[in-house]
């Protein structure tokens, strides 16, 4: 029996994850009253049950103070029953944007202030977040990328560390990404913009990639950057970091940064951490 509890910040994607788990063969129950959790678990763990994968969704709108939820889950984890807790996280700015776009009220914003509701909920869920086995930050994840992470953990059963590495290419002329943790400047490489046949292409096109990677400095830079990240990532995991944004920039964010971001992504994907890639400025006017 695999029993997964899905919880986390409102607006971080809990409903979406529950649907993904259901599509993957999990028997899903959402917003189960806390007083019924023990009885439900007894029911699904009986020897004669045919259920092998169960997911329960629990959020801050529970019928009991969330400290009681935390206490109940903590007691269950100490028993012989294998319970895994998945906590979905997201940046405050992203959550606020999502609520504005959907025009919904936050469940804890009794006076209508979404920001205050987010702050209250973050404080309320602090204990259960520490108790969680997996923490996924959905701030920069597409639905497809979130599904890949859910499948990797709960379908394929691969080892997982609660760190999401987001690789972002950008153009310095449009500003450094505000959420960047590590910023690398690749303007030391020759610029394909000044090659007539490459000017209107991007780092997504093979001719540009061949041009950029044709310089030995590009390969040497990638080798050193990969080695540094492979050193940093497990140490960030050990310190409990949930998201790492690696920003690679060139002048316009069309050629060099896109090429090197893609190459770095190819080298790092398939590891123990989740990884995404985003080209912030590649669609901008050339």
Residue 226 and residue 269: Cα distance in Å, rounded? 11
Q: Which of 228, 75, 107, 257 is nearest to 169 (CA)?
A: 257
Where do the domains of the chain lie, and which CATH numbers do they carry? 2-154 (3.40.50.300), 164-279 (no CATH)
What's the pLDDT score for residue 48? 66
Tokens of 250: 């060139």
What's the pLDDT score for residue 112? 66
Residue 262 and residue 277: Cα distance in Å, rounded? 7
Q: What's the 3-state SS for 56-106?
A: EECCCCCCCCHHHHHHHHHHHHHCCCCEEEEEEECCHHHHHHHHHHHCCCC
3-state secondary structure of 17: helix
Segments of 164-236 assigned E as strands: 164-171, 182-185
CA end-to-end span of the chain: 54
Residue with the larger pLDDT of the pair 106 and 112:
106
Q: Which of 249, 241, 231, 245 is nearest to 276 (CA)?
A: 245
Q: Which of 74, 115, 68, 79 is nearest to 94 (CA)?
A: 115
Q: Which pLDDT band holds residue 286 (cuts at 50, 70, 90)?
A: very low
Look at phi and psi of residue 28 and say left if phi exceeds 0, alpha if psi is from -120 to 50, else beta: beta
Residue 19 and residue 6: Cα distance in Å, rounded? 11
21-40 pLDDT tens trace: 999 999 999 887 777 887 88
What's the pLDDT score for residue 156? 80
Q: Which residues of 140-162 are buried (b: 16+ CB within 10 A; e: fewer)?
A: bbeeebbbbbbbbbbbeeeebbb
50-99 pLDDT tens trace: 788 999 998 776 545 667 777 877 777 777 677 899 999 998 888 888 88
Instruction: Please say if the pLDDT value at position 158 is more than 80.
Output: no
Tokens of 118: 């987010």
């Amino acid at each position: 029996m695999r029993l997964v509890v899905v919880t986390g910040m409102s607006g971080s994607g809990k409903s979406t994850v529950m649907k993904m788990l259901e599509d993957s063969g999990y028997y899903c129950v959402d917003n189960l009253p806390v007083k019924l959790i023990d009885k439900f678990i007894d029911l699904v763990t009986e020897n004669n049950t045919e259920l092998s994968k169960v997911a329960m969704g629990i959020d801050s709108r529970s019928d009991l103070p969330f400290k009681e939820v935390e206490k109940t889950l903590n007691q269950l984890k100490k028993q012989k029953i294998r319970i895994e807790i998945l906590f979905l996280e997201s940046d405050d700015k992203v959550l606020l944007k999502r609520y504005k776009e959907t025009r919904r009220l936050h469940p804890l914003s009794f006076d209508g202030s979404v920001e205050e509701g987010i702050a209250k909920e973050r404080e309320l869920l602090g204990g259960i977040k520490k108790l969680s086995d997996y923490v996924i930050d959905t701030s920069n994840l597409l639905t497809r990328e979130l599904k890949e992470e859910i499948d990797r953990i709960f379908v394929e059963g691969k080892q997982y560390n609660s760190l999401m590495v987001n690789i972002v290419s950008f153009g310095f002329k449009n500003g450094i990404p505000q959420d960047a943790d590590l910023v690398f400047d690749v303007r030391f490489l020759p610029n394909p913009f000044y090659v007539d046949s490459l000017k209107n292409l991007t780092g997504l096109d093979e001719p540009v990639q061949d041009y950029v990677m044709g310089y030995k400095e590009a390969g040497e830079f990638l080798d050193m950057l990969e080695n540094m990240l492979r050193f940093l990532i497990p140490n960030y995991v050990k310190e409990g970091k949930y998201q790492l944004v690696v920003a690679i920039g060139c002048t316009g964010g069309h050629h060099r940064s896109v090429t090197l971001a893609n190459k770095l992504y190819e080298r790092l994907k398939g590891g123990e951490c989740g990884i995404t890639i985003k080209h912030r400025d590649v669609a901008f006017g050339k």
